[in-house]
Structures are given as C-alpha cells and as structure tokens.
A and B are shown apart, each in its own frame.
Chain A
C-alpha cells in the first residue's frame, strides 16, 4: 500500500512537473549534429523539461509532443558567442546604453584595474540586441567587459531573457590593448599586470593583515583583489586580448609563472605561436575575417589564421569579439574560417563546444542526451549565408524570433 501510495504521489508530482513546464518537443527527421563530428541523418531530437531526453535515428516522438518537422533541416546546438557585448552595449555611441567599457583612449594605462566589475550588474536581458542575436542562432553569450588592462568579470547568459547568469564569473578579462604603447611601453603594461597579480596573491595570503593595514601599498582596491582570488586559484580563466606575437608570448610566460588558466582573444599574430599555444593548451578566440595588418604592433596577420592554428593543434574558438549588433553574424565568421581551410566540424566546435569548455558551461554546446536543450533548427548549412535559424530553443523553450527589426519590416512592408 505504501509503495502504491508513493507511486501515485510520484505520478502526481510528475504530472505537476509536466503541466508546470511546456509540452515536450520533438524535432523529427533532421540532419542532427549531436556534437561536432557526430552527425546523424534523419534523426529525432526529443526535448522535455528543458533537457535533451533523447536523440538519434531510431527515436520516436513521445505522445503529446509538439512536433517540429525537421525534414531537409539541419539541427545543431545553439551557438555560443564567446566574447560579447550583447546586453552590455546597446547603441555604441550613446553612453547611457554602454556598460562595461572602460578607458577608451588608453585601456592599459589610463584606468587599468576593474577586476571587481561584474557583468551581471550591467547585463540588460531584454536589450534589443538580445533578440537580434537570437535570430542568428545564438543561444548563449558571454557578456564581457573590455577596455582596461583588467576589465573585469564576464558572465554567461542564456538569451531567453533570463535575468540570472548561467555562469558567473565566467572569466576575468584582460585587455593588452591595440595601442598599448600609447601611454608608455608594452612591457610596462605587462609589468603592471604582474604587479596586480602579485598584490592579489599577497592579499589572498593575508587578508587579515590587509584589513589591519599591515600590508604594503597595493595598486588595486580590496574588491579587485578579492575578485582575483579565484583567478589565482585557477578556478576562473583569464581571457586576454592580445594580438602581437610578443604580447602573446609574454602572456604565456605570465600564465606559467602564476599558474593561470588562460585563453587568448584577437590573436592576430597567434598563428606565429601555434606550437607554444598548443603545448600550453591555451585556446585562441579569433574573428577569421580580421585579416588586415591592423596595427604596427601586430601587422603579421595571416589570411587563414584559424586553419593554421587548428593544424598546429591549438584549440580555436570563433567570436565577433564584442560587437553587440553583429553577434548574429557569428556563423558567417565560422563559415569564412571553413572557406580558408578550417575543417567544418572544427568551425562548428569553435562556436559551440570550445566556448562551453573554456567557461565551464556544463551541459551546453552539444545536444547529447541529458544536456540543456539549447537547440537550433536551421533551414540548411548553418555556416552558410542564405540559410536561416528557423527555430531557436533555449532551456527547452521555443523562442520568439520577433525583434525590433521584424516589427519595422511588418510596418513598412504593406
């Protein structure tokens, strides 16, 4: 009797759970990239209660499921924009719409330390850039501060208007600046970075002494020093914006000295450091369309840097590196990497599993059974230009693809 009662209680609870959540979703008959390199044709993906509950060729849609016809479609995990301004920067040129952007003129020297900045405090989950990014199949962004030597802590957000981050801090962001030499020397900037890390270490070893004013002068405030503790402990990665070969090599030395877990972003000349980056297992996030010798400090830019790095064994991520309005072009960037020699699966990984791994976004980046249901149904090859994200599912829910732009189109279409 007791067992029966428990069972009925469980059934009631299960029923409640089902009614509390949306009906299950089944995407039927699609070409499914379960994860990069693992493709199943004519497969079905079942989503229930926010999770992937089944995926494969011999999976049946559960009774009562909302069925999405996947015939002729391609299904991937939602794309993850690894270094983003979505939610932080709305209209770039209006200061009231800009958050987490520091010392624009001299990021390294003018206003160097913002370690305690927390992107959760600046993120606007309903900014118009959020909806537009979603139309590009982006389901997660890592909203990242920029423009200071230590710009602060990023946070990963699902783009379903969630107000809570899925991971915070996602990383500590360091920017060596394209014009790092403007206020002094590049070497001085790196020295300053070591000084900040030294201070944080000294602070962490004797917080009580700091509070009693028994410590030497520190160049960062106590909240900044606090924020750097998980970084020194290796729990939070450091994402370093660095373009020149010299900077990248210097950052590798600092990472080794302080035992930091790091990633490089920008990486214009990273292809020159492929062997060392691969050996140190440091991923590089780049925009494959940035093939110009942009600055005198980093002018040796390879047209196919992503492919060269991949070949050298470096983990390559792809990102727009911070333009909020252009996040939706992420897949075009990945497509261009393929056009310049990167294997297609690696390019898909670069916008899904690679950022998920760096930031520790558990259960995201692939649509394996049990994972969070961030899923996109594409009209064709997701890395192509003439295809579209037709259905975007985040945390198991089908998202509206209506935006400021689609509403304008409706008004003026007639």
Chain B
C-alpha cells in the first residue's frame, strides 16, 4: 500500500497523480524487478522481486481470427480421441472439441482447415531445449547457454542468452513444437533460470515468452560440473558437488531469513508510525520520523540468492539434470533437508531403478527414447525408461536437449512407446502423446492453460499428415495461441540470419526447401510475425 498519495489528493482535490508505473500490455511481460526509485515503499515487499504475470494471460488473444478444423482424428491427450472430430478455436482459445456431428455454433470468418485423413494433437512441448542459447550456426559468438565461470550462477537467465533469430526455432516449429523450456547448460551445479518460450517468430526474447509461465531454475549433478570445474577450483568430486548444493542453500535460507526479519521490522515500524500519527492527530506519512528511532534498513539484494530464496519459497520450479538413480536420491535428500521441492529430473536415464521413489515424491522425469552410453552416467539407459515410469504411475516426458531431436519428439515418443509395449507394458497412444504434451506442460507449470485439447485451453495445436507416431509423419499446420504459425505448404519462415542466403529464403535457393505435398490449409496469410509495431 502506498502512503502519501492521499495527502496529495486532499491538497489538490483533483485526479490523483499516479507515480506507479503503467501496467504492462498483454504482450509485454512485466519485469520481475520493479526499479525501487519508482516506488520506494513497495521496494522488495516480502523480500521477493517476483511479481509474476498471471498465467491466465496466456489465454487472452482477442486479435486472432477463429479457426475451424473438420473431419480430423483428434487426439486430446486427456485419454479421449475423436475419429471424425471437430475443433473450433476462438480468440486463441479452444471453444469446442468433440465429434463432428455435434451442432456447434461456428464463429464467423473462421480459417477452415480440412482435417480429412489428418491427425490433430496438442502442440508439442519440449521440457529441455537450448534453442536460442546454443544457436546455429555453431559460432563462438552465439554460444550463450553455459556460464562456465562459477559452479553456481543462479543469478543468470536463459532469457538473456536467447537469440530469437536462431534458425533452429523455425525448424522446431515445423516439427510441431509450440512451447519449449530453454535452459542454461549443465556445466554448473546451479546454472541459472530457465525461460519458457513459444516457438514463434519474435524480435525479442520477451515477445516470444510464454505469458505468465512460472520461473524455473536449472541445476545439474554428476559428471558435467566436476568435469568443468575439477581443474578450476572445484567441485572436483561428487562429494564437493552435493556439499556445495547444501552450503549454497544454507546461504539462501539465511538470506531469506534476513528478508523475513526485515519485513517484520518494517511492519512494526509502520505500526509505530501510525500510532505516533494517531497520537498527534495527523495523517501518517512515510516521511514521518519517530524521535530516537531509525527506520529498518532493507538487506542488500543478491540476485543469485533471490533465485534460490524463490526456490525455498516454492515460487521457482526446480529442474535438475541428473542421470543416475543414486544421484537423484541424493538430490531428493538435500531438497528435504533444505526444504524445497524438485519439479522434475532431466535425462534421468536411471529413473526406472527408483521409479517408486519418484512416484511417491511426485517428481516428474524428462528422458530420451534411446540416447545412452555416451558417458559413464548414461551407461545404464534403457529404452523402456519412460514406459516403466508411466506404468508405475509417475509422470514422464520425452525431451530433446537437441536441436535435431526437438524437431522429431513425436518420433522419439513413438520409439519409447514401442519399446514399452515390446516389454509388455501397457502404453496407450494417449499416454505416449502425453509424454510430449500434457506432461511437459506440467513440468513447466503451464498445464492449466495448455498441453491438452480441451475447451477453455489455449489453442496450441498440430495438424499432422497422419499418425504422429511414424517416421513419415510431418506437421502440416502448427497453431500457437490460436494463430497459424507454420504451414508446410508454405514452407518455413527464414530467420533474419537466413535472408539473402540459405535454403529457407526463396530468393536464394535453387530448389524449394521442402516439396509442398498438401494444398494450403489456410487463406494466404501475412507473415506471422507481422510488420514491426
């Protein structure tokens, strides 16, 4: 609450002057940190700079034209599928999904997509991506994903390394990916904050940000941190890795406690000021001094510890790169000791060995279909990992960690599904679809608005040329938040980097990048990015 402005009101008796910064527009996520000089009284309330945008903002896009998809097989990732289904999208939100013969009022001026012979699924979500931060082409100048200068860099953000002109983004979109969690690399024990991003063309990282997505932090245990820091001050062993996690979280707890103490002191101080004003029969204001006492001083803000204090408060989702079963167990123990919750383990090749533990703790895993063996901690990876976790009642996703793999997560899910079935594990198509849609939505904390095809959810949708569980599958149309972001018939959109050279820019290519195999699904549309505003 701001004090002092009422005083201004009484003096001039006109519209109050608002010093408060104007609220952000829908496409402009609010900065986490509000510059203190704009609002000294609101400076660090409760010691947290986090003022997240509401996740419901992801549902508000009144400007998008309606879309109607008819006669497609619709796989909803909720356990339900419709053979000849109908889907209606209005204002960026799914307003109807169900059998085609239902009588549904259709919005006027809708983009019509003939889904005959096609399969519709939720947009693919990659819970582990480095697009934009490990951009292509591989150039030293664009290598912005791993801050390998200290084992704990909780203060850095993938968002600041995200290059929206990375040519890989359009290729992921063409593979049906609508949302990705962009993570810092795994060199560091605590590598920094992740960035949940829509796979759509954008000029700035913030334009691509998934509106209101919760904050995440990337941690890593095992071989990588000790390989990177063993020769430069440590940790050199797993012993030191886990010790560093503990000492760092103790530091963060101490920091959070300082802020809590300050908050209490400030509240007391304000009460005192109120009382003093009452006694004097005057209005309280922030400039009022209490004779003989000084106002409490806020502790210094530490961005590194802010991230970890956010973890301890449960505001920041914890995403941990960890391969071995025993190491995941170590991290679980430390999380309990320090009082935080792990959202998911990434890679987690040995999750199958402790799936009972992971299910009990409610921790998800993000894994591959068949990557294994490239280092010792990946030696025991098996293709049935996701299936076994699912059978045990746990939450699994198939993630990529690769600019190649992210384009084909549907194929990776198909392989993991087939491996599970061969082992006698009952994996339905819907379960396999959830590995790349609903489950990663949960890992990213955005499952209430996307990840399934349900009425009221965001229209993040892929129209496939057939079953997505095939090596021959291609995404024909990809819709992000109700807007057609990709159409195979029209080809991929070249990033700025590719203009004037490269196959994606038609002006330079000798042959088209992709042979158009289907007619245009929509009316000719403007560049999805639109003209700069």
Which residues of A are interface residues toward B (Cβ below 8 A)?
90-94, 128-129, 132, 178, 271-272, 289-296, 299-304, 307-308, 323-326, 328-329, 332, 335-336, 338-341, 383-388, 404-405, 408-409, 412-413
Contact with A along B357-390 (1 / 0, CB 8 A): 0000000000000111111100111111000100
B137 touching A386, Cβ below 8 Å: no
Interface-central residue, A291, A328, A340, by most chain B CB under 10 Å:
A291
Q: Does B523 contact A (CB under 8 A)?
A: no
Alpha-carbon gap, A142 to B415, bound state (A): 25
A324 touching B373, Cβ below 8 Å: yes
Known contacts: A303-B503, A412-B388. The answer to whether A296 contacts B423 by CB under 8 A is no
Contact with A along B409-432 (1 / 0, CB 8 A): 001001101100111000000000
Q: Does B136 contact A (CB under 8 A)?
A: yes
Interface residues of B in 496-527 (CB under 8 A from A): 498, 501-503, 510-511, 513-515
B375 touching A292, Cβ below 8 Å: no
Q: What are 28 A-B pairs at a CB distance below 8 A?
A: A91-B375, A92-B373, A92-B375, A289-B407, A289-B408, A292-B171, A293-B136, A299-B136, A299-B501, A299-B502, A300-B502, A302-B513, A304-B513, A307-B515, A335-B471, A336-B408, A336-B471, A339-B473, A341-B515, A383-B471, A385-B411, A385-B469, A386-B421, A409-B382, A409-B384, A409-B423, A412-B352, A413-B423
For residue B403, which residues in chain A have a CB less than 8 angstroms away from its CB? 292
A386 touching B513, Cβ below 8 Å: no
For residue B193, which residues in chain A have a CB less than 8 angstroms away from its CB? none
Alpha-carbon gap, A387 to B403, bound state (A): 25
**In the A-B complex, the 10 residue pairs with the closest CB atoms:** A335-B471, A325-B373, A386-B418, A385-B414, A93-B375, A339-B472, A92-B374, A405-B382, A296-B137, A292-B136
Q: How far is the CB of A9 from chain B (nearest CB, A)?
A: 49
Q: Does B1 contact A (CB under 8 A)?
A: no
Nearest B residue (CB) for A328: B370
Q: How far is the CB of B457 from chain A (nearest CB, A)?
A: 28
For residue A295, which residues in chain B have a CB less than 8 angstroms away from its CB? 137-139
B388 touching A93, Cβ below 8 Å: no
Q: Does B283 contact A (CB under 8 A)?
A: no
Known contacts: A295-B138, A300-B502, A339-B472. The answer to whether A408 contacts B374 by CB under 8 A is no
Alpha-carbon gap, A178 to B136, bound state (A): 13
Across chains A and B, the number of contacting residue pairs, with CB separation under 8 Å, is 134
Interface residues of B in 409-461 (CB under 8 A from A): 411, 414-415, 417-418, 421-423
Alpha-carbon gap, A304 to B511, bound state (A): 10
Q: How far is the CB of A345 from chain B (nearest CB, A)?
A: 15
Question: Could you say which of B372, B417, B502, B503 contacts A386, with CB atoms under 8 Å apart?
Answer: B417
For residue A290, which residues in chain B have a CB less than 8 angstroms away from its CB? 404
Q: How far is the CB of A311 from chain B (nearest CB, A)?
A: 9
Alpha-carbon gap, A129 to B403, bound state (A): 24
B472 touching A338, Cβ below 8 Å: yes
Alpha-carbon gap, A93 to B379, bound state (A): 11
Nearest A residue (CB) for B416: A385
Q: How far is the CB of B318 from chain A (nearest CB, A)?
A: 26
Alpha-carbon gap, A292 to B492, bound state (A): 13
Q: Could you list 13 further interchain pairs (A-B, Cβ under 8 angstroms) beyond the known A292-B403, A299-B502, A326-B370?
A: A132-B373, A272-B510, A293-B136, A300-B501, A300-B502, A301-B503, A303-B492, A323-B374, A325-B374, A332-B471, A385-B411, A385-B414, A405-B372
B502 touching A339, Cβ below 8 Å: no
Known contacts: A300-B503, A303-B503, A339-B471. The answer to whether A388 contacts B418 by CB under 8 A is yes
For residue A92, which residues in chain B have a CB less than 8 angstroms away from its CB? 373-375
Q: Does B146 contact A (CB under 8 A)?
A: no
